[in-house]
Chains A and B, each alone.
Chain A
Amino acid sequence: MLFQFISQKQLIRSIAKSGVVALVALGLAAPVTAADNAQTIRVGVPDLPPGQGNPYSALGTPSIYTWAAVFDALTLVDAKGVAQPALAVSWKNTTPKTWRFTLRDGVSFSNGEKLTPEAVLTGFNYIKSGKAGRSPIVRELGGVASAAASGPNTVDFVTKRPDPIFPNRIAALKVVAPKHWAAKGPKGYAAEPVGTGSYKIVSWTANKIKLVAFEGSWRAPKAGQLEIIELPERSARVQALMSGQVDIVAGLSTDNIPSLESAGQRADVRAAPQVMALALPVVRKDKKTKKLVKIDTPFSDVRVRQALNYAVDKEGIAKGVLAGFAKAAGQGATPAAFGYNPSVKPYPYDPAKAKQLLAAAGHPNGLSFTAEVVTGAFPGDSEIYQKMAQDMSKAGIKVTLQKITFPEWLGKYLGRKPWDGQAFALSWNSAPYVDSIRPIGLYSCFNPFTFTCDDKVKGLIIKANSEFDRNKRREILHQIHVANSENPPAVFLIEQIDVFGLSKRLKAFNQINRWVTYHEMTVN
């Protein structure tokens, strides 16, 4: 054989030469130096704000992880759904439709501008100008008729109807530096955002925002720098945390917790202001007449909707899929949301009762339907829907899960395309103002794209929306939760959770409805 004249030693020597060149060229042989990052908090998030630093371009995640460092609103809704002072120190009703906010003294923006009523009105006027067309805040503040300065340090908001939760609602409106906004416009401001928050942005690249402490902030931070890094892959976020490259990661799942803990890191798990549910449409709005039309569906019978709730082992989902970190849901609010009714319990898992109700409703052999769901939005959501379908099959209910993309879901939810299935996923989300009325409104006749309409709930919503006495209002919301439990517009599944991963060197982590309080945190 020709190859016999070539010795193995010769070969290895020959190949080794190339190998060394390769290693040096790739830098593998070079030592990796550790950077001094003692005062830098690094945060890994699934996405940076898509609209960059325009605080009116987005409301919830992922933008909220950046807004929390840079911007403030007049109020901040706490973990119990109560508005707390932020840029406003107090507020009161001067008339049933007028809310007067007194601004905090001595607050500066990171460019040196002072907080004035004009600053508050700058953002409000933009939202109302029609130029903020697609901003989610347009709808949140749709009930405000006007706003004006009423003194050197006070701003009045006039609502179209009495609005008892306006101090919660206004938390969506971040305050911008007025001169900078006027000079740059929304697009320029997005590129060079300025706020009153703990940190100011020094650079914004495709995958990283670098911030430094704004020492003059009314909530000055303890750490010198902050970096917010886009890490779209969950596994990459986990590995970045485990390898010490970041201190906080958002958007994890419970199945990441064991590996984090085994690597000496920690997880912060707490209830999200959302209840995962499967909506059971019974009506639709006619596009021409705008009137509600009943849908021909088995869900029209309340016994069927109750049966579906009995047929799902929510406790099993909470324990099995989410490792016991979540709780079974029986209403459209989490305990954090104002108006949550602790006396409304989840439907117990009772397949026999479900069968009995189905038989009474004219479905002795069970029923089948298709549910359109979006997965990847919540920890374990795909498994949760599968477990739901599996449980329902034991009660004779055959559910076909049809996974669709979020854009597809939106098109259908917004009434622009028909649903292929009879049910669809829709969480009861009380964010951003953490009040039961928000998700209740979505599951009511008042939703512009409504799919359910209970007259009793409708009447109670009208009452709640004009009740300023907190206790009385809470009682009305309790009644709504009872009504929605007895006549469920959805299959209530579980109270969702937020899982953050934390490095062991990070101190004083806290998040309030996903608003991360960076200013309190330090790193060793």
Chain B
Amino acid sequence: MNPFLLKSVRRLAAFGVFLLGVVTLLFFLLQLTGDPAEVMVGDSGTPEQIEQVRAQYGFDRPLIEQYGRYLVRLSVLDFGVSFANDQPALNLVAERLGPTLLLTLLSIIATLLIAIPLGAWLGIRPDAAAQQAGGAIVYMAQGVPGFVAGLLLIQLFAVQLRWLPSIGHDSLASWILPTLTLSSFLAPKLTRVIAINVTEAMREDYIRTARANGSGLQNLLWRHALPNALLGATALVGAQFAFLISGAVITEVIFAWPGLGWLLVKSTTTLDFPVIQAAVFVIAVLVFIVNALTDILFVYIDPRLRGQAS
């Protein structure tokens, strides 16, 4: 078998085992959070109503039987219906996936557009006063929690200046503040990584050689230093995708962005197990796909790996 194919099959199999572990752990952890039947009937429910709901949803069956049925349904991607509104859980998740992916993608783009030039600027002359000050600001920005950044952006651009909306996602303008907020989760970290990488790259012999051959700053930076600096940055963005999804949870709640994170928060507070299970499943698959894509991208941008892959 082709080594690349074999590697892919092995990786898929490992992911399958990982996914089974995730759904199993989640199933049993959710049992510890409470009884959805109680939440469904609320504090005005009667004992009879609770029992009726438990029977209706099969909560009265032995746990191991519930788990078995859950796995069987899962094999055909049937997560059941939402306890809140009887809609198929996977449909609800699918509806919310688009806005979350949009937000995450926009924030990655924004992060790159901020971090690459800023990191290059900081890294190329790390000892200059302006860069030192800039580096300190980036360092401090890394310590600002994302939700604080979001609220500050809203206060400035929506409340004080009234330039941008702070709720919904109906217009291009309404995308800006959530995008910047989610970018604030990763941009400072990425900026620092790029700055360090650029600084190190600029000390390398090939830069001296290129300089000696008459390369200008633009050429040195964009053709020689940055491509090497970006290798580490690419790995960071890929590895931090799951972190960005968790950042999206906070961002979506603050900006009323109807995404997966927000759905997950709501479902957790109401013990809507099918939706939680579907959402976590989809997030796990997404993280796997992004990690795989990052590896492929790595091969594409790092010439040393191209030979190994082939």
Contact = CB atoms under 8 A, between A and B. Distances in A.
Interface in A160-193: 187, 190
26 contacts: A3-B125, A6-B124, A6-B125, A8-B125, A8-B128, A22-B114, A26-B113, A26-B179, A30-B173, A47-B266, A133-B56, A134-B52, A138-B49, A207-B256, A236-B166, A236-B254, A239-B151, A243-B158, A243-B159, A407-B271, A410-B38, A410-B39, A414-B38, A414-B47, A416-B35, A416-B50
A28 B176 contact: yes
B242 interface: no
A233 B127 contact: no
Interface in A380-407: 405-407
A11 B254 contact: no
Interface residues of B, number: 80
Interface string A240-279: 1011111000000000000000010000000000000000
B52 A133 contact: yes
A1 B113 CA distance: 29
Nearest to A238: B159
A27 B172 contact: yes
Contact of B113 (A21, A230, A246): A21
A405 B164 CA distance: 36
Given A25-B113, A26-B110, A134 B40 contact: yes
Provide the main secondary structure of the chain B interface.
helix
A263 to B, nearest CB: 7
Contacts of A52: 85
Interface residues of A, number: 68
Contacts of B39: 406-407, 410
Interface stretch (A12-20, A459-467, A477-485, A487-495): A12-20
A229 B167 contact: yes
A515 to B, nearest CB: 18
7 A-B pairs with least C-beta separation: A22-B113, A206-B258, A407-B34, A18-B117, A207-B258, A50-B84, A243-B158
Contacts of A240: 158, 166-167
Interface stretch (B62-70, B203-211, B279-287): B203-211
B167 A14 contact: no
B262 interface: yes
A387 B117 CA distance: 52
Interface string B198-220: 00001100011001000001100
Given A3-B202, A22-B113, A22-B114, A134 B45 contact: yes
A448 B46 contact: yes
Contact of A242 (B35, B121, B159): B159
A190 B167 CA distance: 25
A136 B173 contact: no
A2 B168 contact: no
A51 interface: yes
Nearest to A35: B171
B256 A15 contact: no
Given A50-B84, A414-B41, 17 more contacts: A3-B125, A14-B121, A134-B40, A136-B45, A190-B85, A206-B258, A231-B256, A232-B266, A236-B154, A245-B166, A263-B159, A407-B33, A407-B38, A407-B39, A408-B34, A410-B34, A449-B47
